[in-house]
Structures are given as structure tokens and as C-alpha cells.
Structure 1
Amino acid sequence: MLRSLFIWVLLLFTNAVGHAQTDTAKLICSSAQTTDDLNLSAMIQPADPALFVRDSLYYNWCNSIIKDDEGNYHLFYARWPKSIGFFSWLTHSEIAHSTANRPEGPYKMGQTVLKARPKAWDAITAHNVKVEKIDNRFYMYYTTTNTGTEKLSAEQLLEVGKTGYSHKYWPLLRSNQRTGVAVSSSLEGPWVRRDKPMIEPHGAIKTVTVNPAVCKGHDGRYYIIVKGDDITASEPRAIQAIGSSDYPDGPFLLENKPAFADVPTEDVSMWYDNIRKRYYAIFHAHKADYLGLITSEDGIHWKRAKHYEVCKKQIPLKDGTVMRVERMERPFVYQENGKPLVLAVAVKKGNDAFIVFFQLK
């Protein structure tokens, strides 16, 4: 009898341990499951050419959509004169503002809201605009440049804009590019600018700070992805750096490693997904034929998202045709209540550059 009782107790103990191990395994398996299931590619709807932001006078580029308390949608974008040429984004760009009743438009002709300030640190061009609402204030992040100690006349700047990369002063203007911020209590302005750049090259990048993307994180801190030259490269090679700050206008401390090094990237737009509890960033894969999506759980360490390739660099239209374009860059995802509603991109086709909106469903 004692032997039978011992075997019965042993079986009970073994069964309990087995259940505990199974429960532990289930817990480990559950914690390993990912919330990374955002599939923008499956949501993209064909674009309506009637909603393109284009006109005969300007190249239109960059884009940032934001909604006000009255339910109106505001588009901030960069534009520069077609009369000078496409490369004059570095010399003659300005930031315009337009409104619509829907996030995908149609938007009215924009009004200029931010231009270069002669004799200031942002003396030449205003580009790469992103507008964020943070704690009841609006922050406009932008890229600009100057000529340092060199004095260039209006005619010389015009020649740089017309000539492009091969002009002898192009490297000077490129190397002085910095990211700035302007702040306002209203989307109608006025926009108050700082007396110096928001962020200088450091950490993993050197030479320039451009293409800024800023978002408020899960922990109340602010995260930035910004482009600069790879600090380890002898020749200019652009990479994305990641940094954080206690404040939306900095100072930002950049990490010593790139945000994402799998492929050359630029034009990042970043957000925190409150539903999935993770960060996402969409980007233009430089010298590749797609827009990509990366993700992070902490805002610092990034990797390819599960649905990494968002779309090819082409425009499917409502009539069933596909518009082929020379460039498709500056992707921006507009969302409401954690749901992506619109993917906006800037495209170049022939001697035209305009903004395209894809509804996301």
C-alpha cells in the first residue's frame, strides 16, 4: 500500500510540474508574439489625378498633413519656381500652406508661410517641412542653408539653382544645410523661429542635418530621425541617425549607430502606433524602386517591418492605368485615432513635380 501511495504522489507531482512547464512555455510563446502587423501595401487605393497638388509655376514637394480642432485639414509643403529649374530646391524653396475638407484633398492653392531669412542662419531656402502638434503647440521642422563666410549675390544663387550639382558653390550650400524649427500656437501662424539650428551633426552623422522627422514617444520623450553623412565614410554617403530629447525642439542627442543600415534611405516620416504599441517609419529607398517600412519597440533600435516593402515607385490611377514617374519620394502617412488614412508622396515626371495622395483602406 505504501508503495502504491508513493507512486500516486509521484504522479501528482509530475503532472503538476508538467502543467507548470506548459503554462511557462505558453507565457514565453505569448510574449514572443509580435504586434508588427501593419500592412500599408494592402491598404493603398488608386490615386485620383484631380487631387494632385500641382501647378504651372512651381515644383511642389515634401508634404505634411495635420487636422485642426474644427475638422479642417492643413497641408504644408515645399515649392520652388519652375522658371529656375528643379535643382533650385537648394536655393529658392519656400514652405506653403493649404487647406481642404478631407485629408486627401482637394487642396486650394497654397500661401507662403515660411521663407529664407536674409542674414540669418536660415538665409537660403526652406525645405523638408514636417508639422507636428505637441501639447497644444505646433512645431514646424524644416531644412535650410546659408553660405557661411562666403558672400554670394542673388545672381550667383540663381546660377547655382539653374546649374545644380556641378556648380562650384553647390558643395558649399550643401554642407551648410541644417534642420530648424518654428513654433506657433495656431496653424495659421505666426511661426516663431529660433536664432540657431535645432540640431548640429554629431553621433553617427557629419556635415549636414536634413530630412527631419520627429514624434512624441510612448515614454513622453521625443524621437528624431535625421539624415547626414556617414561619419565613417571618407566620401559623402548619406545615412539616417536616430536621437531623443526631453523636449520637442531639442536639444536632441543622436546615437552613435545609424537608425537603419540595411539599405540607403532618406525622407523618413515617423510615428508611434498607439494600437500596436510600437514605432513605425516609412522611407524612400534611395537608388531602389520602392518605399519601405521599418519598426521599433523603443524608438532607438529599428528593423525591417513584417510588411517591409510598401509600394513600388509608380502611381496606380483610378482609371486602372499606372503612371510611370522619374522620382517618388518624401512619403508621409496621415492617421487619425491610430488608423492610417492617407499616404502622400512627392513625384517628379518630366518638368513637373507634384504631390500625390493614396487613400488607405
Structure 2
Amino acid sequence: MMTRRNFLTGLTLLPFTNALADGLTVWPFDDNRAEFSKHLKPVGRALESPDWYVSANSPIYGPNGSVHLFYSRWPADRKADGWLNGAEIAHAVAKSPESAFEYVETVLAPRPGQWDATTCHTPHIQYIDGRYCLFYTGNSNGQPDTQRIGLATAKSLKGPWKRSDTPLLEPGTAGAWDDHCTTNPAFIQHPNGQYWLYYQSGKTSNSAGQGYQKYGLATANLLQGPYRRYSKKPIIDFSSKGKHAQIDDAFVWLQRGRFNMLLGDMGVQSNNAGLYLDSHDGVHWEDPSVAFGPLNDYVKESPTLDQGNAYGRLEHPQLLLQHGRPRYLFTAAQGGKYMTSSPFIFKIV
């Protein structure tokens, strides 16, 4: 487990006193905090709005050094669960990760009659093979079991975006561990040239209970697929760690010859933190350590009675990478100025 390894290339752990002076959250060195967690300096919220819940968001540097953010949003009157029926994916731009983001346009909206007819959610943006690739989740009837992963591509961050007519990956056959849905994509282009799609799913028969959310892997020789399951079993399954031990919102990246992963923790070690894992091959993963804590570890915000059970949780971790190195961590959190939801950003120092 890499709880002691300084895997962030070119970084050194800040001295304890300097970290305090710089506003870093400093953790004891004998706990289960990953090295990653010790380099997080809170920047704060972005794109706060009284009219929209802004949730899952994925950043990328543009050709001129500006930062482009693709994010899921839905009308505030739908409350926290509005992502399931009526979310769209929008595009915003800022001069830097710590500057104000300005809405540009909605790039993916639900398409009536299609596999993504009722929602577009969990965007994940990458530049692959000379084009921008926007992975996302859609559903066809506003229900969790019709969630599927799709792909939109464009030659420019300004679009136009061409969407896949069919999902990249359907659920497994009846009775399989992943027969419920495919959702929350994470993606890497493997050094061997293959395209690897990590996906979240679970079994329909226990979708509301034990060990529902796990992660599988599908691979393809072409970006658009077909994607084939690497294994009949999930590659990440923490259900043995507790009755409701689940995981959520994976982000995967390669660095210094290792595969790295961030995950949302839902009962593995806590219910409102993030997990860090690493692997030598992207399939077999080391035991998890804590990547980041709950929101109140970094800022103090007043809760209200009408927030859901995700209040205080930092969700949908996505990294802003520069030359392959993590520079900023983007998450999403309920609350803020308007008590809706918005991105919460960390600088990696």
C-alpha cells in the first residue's frame, strides 16, 4: 500500500510548520492517509448557483492554457436526486483552475427516444488520438437500471460533439454481478495500445442492499469499441469489508509506471471520504488508503435539514492533469452559498 510513498513526481512533502502556514490540512503520519491526501490545499467552490445543482465535473487544459470544465447540472427545484431524470452536461471555461469559471454552453442534453433520453451525467473528458473524448452516463427512462456509458467526440473543445448512437457497454447477462447497469466511467489508454474502460455496476437482485456498487473493466482495440469484459468478476469489490461496503466514482491515471485510482468511499472505511488505490497492472489493486476526507475537514459550512444523506461528502473526484502529473483535484459537494451543489477544488502542492 502506498501510504508512505511519495508517488507524485517532483513533489516533496511539505514540512509540518510550512503546511500549517499555507493552509493545508495536515494529518497524523501514523494513520491510513495516502500520501496523496497530504498534498491537498483547498481552493474552494466554483460555479455556485441558486438555479442549478452542479455536480460531477471533469477538467482539462485547453491548447492556450485555459481550463475547460465539463459538468453535470440540473434545475435546483429537482433537489439532490435530480441527476437521475433531467441532468445535462455543460461546458465552462476559466483562465486558470483558481479563476472564476464561466458557462459557455450545454454540450449534451437528454435525447428523447435514445438510450440517453432522460439524463446525461458523470462526464469524464480526455484528449485521445487527436480528439477530445467525453465519456458520460445516460439513461432512457429516469431509472437507475437503464444507466449506460456513452461517448461523445470532437476535434475541438468548442465542439461540435458527435455522440455514440449506442452505449459503449451494456450490462452483463441476467445473474451476472453487473447485470444492473453500466455507469460512472473511468478511462485510460493502456501502454500496450488498448483502450481500458472501468465501469461501475452491481447485481440487480441486491441493488438496494449489500455490496451493490463495484467496479469492472472492459477493454477494446478501438476507441469506439467493441468493449469486452476483462473478467466475469469485478476487479474491485469491497463488499467483504462490511454489509454496506460500496465504492463510487472512480478516476484512474498512469504515473511513474503505476496505475492509480481515486474512489468515493461508501462504507469501506467511512461513508463520506475518498479512497486511493494503486496497482502494477491496472487489474490487481493494493488495499485502499484514505485519499481525502469529508468536506468539513477543509471548510466549515452550515448544514440545513433538507439536504440528502450525501451532504458533507466530496463526490466524483477528477484530476486536472498537466503532462501526466496531477495538478488539481476537482470534486463536487452539496451545500455552499445557495445550498445547492457545486464543484469543490483542491490544489495539489
What is the TM-score of this pair, normalised by structure 1?
A: 0.76
How many residue pairs get matched?
A: 295
- What corresponds to 1:145 in structure 2? 139
- What corresponds to 2:333 in structure 1? 347
Deviations 1:162-202 (A, max 9, x none): xxxxxxxx6xx221111111111111111111211111112
Aligned mates of 1:78, 1:234 — CA distance in 2: 24
Q: Is the 8 A contact 1:104 1:342 kept in 2?
A: no
Aligned mates of 2:195, 2:177 — CA distance in 1: 18
Tell me, yes or no, if structure 1 residue 189 matches structure 2 residue 154: no
Shift of 1:233: 4.9
- What corresponds to 1:269 in structure 2? 251
Tell me, yes or no, if structure 1 residue 205 matches structure 2 residue 201: no
| Structure 2 runs not aligned, ≥5 long | 9-34, 239-244, 303-310
- What corresponds to 1:335 in structure 2? 321
Tell me, yes or no, if structure 1 residue 314 matches structure 2 residue 302: no
Tell me, yes or no, if structure 1 residue 248 matches structure 2 residue 245: no
Tell me, yes or no, if structure 1 residue 124 matches structure 2 residue 115: no
Shift of 1:278: 1.1
Aligned mates of 2:99, 2:226 — CA distance in 1: 35
Aligned mates of 2:156, 2:131 — CA distance in 1: 7
Aligned mates of 1:95, 1:65 — CA distance in 2: 13
- What corresponds to 2:266 in structure 1? 286
Shift of 1:234: 7.8
Q: Is the 8 A contact 1:67 1:74 kept in 2?
A: yes
Aligned pair in 2 of structure 1 residues 174, 136: CA closer, same or farther (>3 Å)? same
Aligned mates of 2:280, 2:328 — CA distance in 1: 23
- What corresponds to 1:58 in structure 2? 52
Partner SS, residue 92 of structure 1: coil
* Matching of residues 8-87 of structure 1 within 5 Å: 37-38=7-8, 39-49=35-45, 52-87=46-81
- What letter matches 1:174 in structure 2? P
Please point out which of 230, 239, 251 is paired with 2:214.
239
Tell me, yes or no, if structure 1 residue 228 matches structure 2 residue 201: yes
What is the TM-score of this pair, normalised by structure 2?
A: 0.78
Q: Is the 8 A contact 2:180 2:207 kept in 1?
A: no
- What corresponds to 1:304 in structure 2? 287
Shift of 1:69: 1.6
Shift of 1:104: 3.8
Identity %: 28
- What corresponds to 2:19 in structure 1? none
Aligned mates of 2:204, 2:276 — CA distance in 1: 24
Aligned mates of 1:109, 1:189 — CA distance in 2: 15
- What letter matches 1:205 in structure 2? D
- What letter matches 2:295 in structure 1? Q
Aligned mates of 2:316, 2:252 — CA distance in 1: 12
Q: Is the 8 A contact 2:272 2:313 kept in 1?
A: no
- What letter matches 1:257 in structure 2? K
Deviations 1:227-253 (A, max 9, x none): 111378586622111222112232222
Which of the pair is proportionally richer in helix? 1
Q: Is the 8 A contact 1:47 1:316 kept in 2?
A: no
Deviations 1:284-337 (A, max 9, x none): 0014232001112212222236xx2112112555xxx54475332101111212
Q: Is the 8 A contact 1:225 1:259 kept in 2?
A: no
Q: Is the 8 A contact 2:43 2:344 kept in 1?
A: yes
Partner SS, residue 205 of structure 1: coil
Aligned mates of 1:338, 1:210 — CA distance in 2: 25
Q: Is the 8 A contact 2:43 2:98 kept in 1?
A: no
- RMSD value, Cα: 2.2
Shift of 1:76: 0.3
Aligned pair in 2 of structure 1 residues 48, 146: CA closer, same or farther (>3 Å)? closer
| Structure 1 runs not aligned, ≥5 long | 1-33, 148-169
Q: Is the 8 A contact 1:204 1:241 kept in 2?
A: no
Partner SS, residue 175 of structure 1: helix
Aligned mates of 2:233, 2:184 — CA distance in 1: 18
